[in-house]
Amino acid sequence: MILTHKRSWLLNVVLLFAACTGLRAQTQEPTPEIAPADQAPTPIPFESPLPEASPAPAQPVEVPSNPITDAARFLAGLPIADSSTLAGLTHTAQWQAHASAMNSAFATLDRRQLSNIRIWRADFLAPVSAGAKTCVYYFGGPDFLYADAFFPDCTTYILVGLESVDALPDLRTVPAAALDTTLENIQISLNTILQFSFFKTKDMREDFGRGELKGVLPILFVFLARTGKVIQSVEYVSLDRGGQLTKPGGSPHGVKVSFVDPASGAQKALYFFSTDLSDDGLKSNPAVLRFTEQQGQANCFVKAASYLMHEGHFDTVRSFLLGDSLAIVEDDSGIPIKYLSPEKWTLRFFGSYTAPINLFKQFYQPDLRQLYETSSPKTLTFSFGYQWNRHNSSLILAVRK
């Protein structure tokens, strides 16, 4: 279902818990089980419609200004240098309200999730993932936010989903009413990932297909801006069958975003490709696997993947990730534990595992339950995957021996 801008924020949250549909998936859109409202996380304080508001005082801009980064910061509700050609667009009551809502939402997210992920990463992941500088995140849509949180030291990020890549227009040419609608759509599109840590496929197809700004690029821009990145260039690309980058027009189609991470000063690249990762899709065109392979050994990230690699239609991508990865961070919806043999992988378990949510109960793993019972797993301080409550979340860290 679509949450419209005419509904109040409170009603949006109630409806979200009552009817959250269409989990991230390649070939199916199941309806997840949602916990009772009294167990809900702290609500993300987005408001719809955008209320009237007086312009807020200007805030200092902490990153260098350029037209692409300025566009990303505008969409993310972050201040822009007065010298920017987009500065005038931030003087409206609608943008000021958008900025206030985004600031509050991301502050809540950082407090509840990202700050705890950074601590966990420093303690457990950083010592074993440094050997690979590529993060491969299949089945995750445009979720650069969590890829960056878990793997900030990587210099290449490869994200793959079914969502489209559309060119971003010059924001100065977008009519004012359409621009206000775009800001509302961004808030709506971000609702579930900020609440539950994953996107909903059905909503993405609809949210990313509305208005003047379509596809995944606006959300990628928001995440890049909100994580402090300075975007240098955006290239629309395709892949030939051998995995080489070509001009747009081929399949899969995608985008390359080059950026600098001010935290380290490193030059980095983010790729998003729209393609089918099923066995049939990869048999027809294995380009994304060939491209990923050419980047060298990688850190693999899998979260809320609809248990697709537990079935018989995603054997190719599962085998590829097992062969390509130095380290794997996943929840129980990723690669089944039976494929992570102790002879090849050092395994560590975090959080708890009892069973999948009811929708996916057929993918219960007795061997994973036994490993959790015998390995004294560390407590998680953040939620992960479909089990958004951290007390029920499972996280598996596998490191190649």
Residue 60 has pLDDT above 90, yes or no: no
Distance CA 203, CA 24 (A): 10
Integer angstrom CA distances of residue 12 from 46, 77, 153, 284: 9, 21, 36, 41
286-323 pLDDT tens trace: 999 999 999 999 999 999 999 999 998 999 999 999 99
Q: 205 with 24: CB under 8 angstroms?
A: no
Integer angstrom CA distances of residue 396 from 125, 158, 263, 349: 11, 21, 27, 5
What six digits make up the tokens of 236?
């629309």
Distance CA 228, CA 243 (A): 30
How many angstroms separate the most distant Cα atoms in the chain? 62
Structural domain for 327, as ranges: 9-400
Q: Is residue 1 part of a domain?
A: no
pLDDT at 224: 97
Q: Is residue 4 part of a domain?
A: no
Residue 86 has pLDDT above 90, yes or no: yes
Residue 209 has pLDDT above 70, yes or no: no
Strand 394-400 relative to strand 345-351, pairing? antiparallel
Distance CA 302, CA 339 (A): 15
107-146 pLDDT tens trace: 999 999 999 999 999 999 999 999 999 999 999 989 999 9
Q: Is residue 3 part of a domain?
A: no
Distance CA 135, CA 157 (A): 5
Q: 207 with 189: CB under 8 angstroms?
A: yes
Band (196; pLDDT cuts 50, 70, 90): low
Distance CA 267, CA 257 (A): 11
Distance CA 202, CA 188 (A): 13
User: Residue 261, SS3?
Assistant: strand
Compute the average pLDDT of residues 60-65. 57
**Cα-flanking dihedrals φ and ψ of residue 50, to 5°?**
-60, 120
Q: Is residue 259 part of a domain?
A: yes
**How many structural domains is the chain composed of?**
1
**Predicted TM-score (pTM) above 0.75:** yes
Integer angstrom CA distances of residue 207 from 68, 88, 95, 182, 301: 22, 26, 19, 10, 25
Q: Is residue 315 part of a domain?
A: yes
What six digits make up the tokens of 164?
């489209």
Give the lowest-confidence range in 29-43, 82-96, 342-356: 29-43
Distance CA 265, CA 267 (A): 7
CA dihedral 246, 251, 252, 256 (to 10 degrees): 30
336-341 long-range contacts, CB within 8 A, separation 24+:
336/309, 336/310, 336/365, 337/365, 337/367, 337/368, 337/371, 337/396, 338/365, 338/367, 340/396, 340/398
- DSSP string spanning 169-197? PPGGGS-HHHHHHHHHHHHHHHHHHHHHS
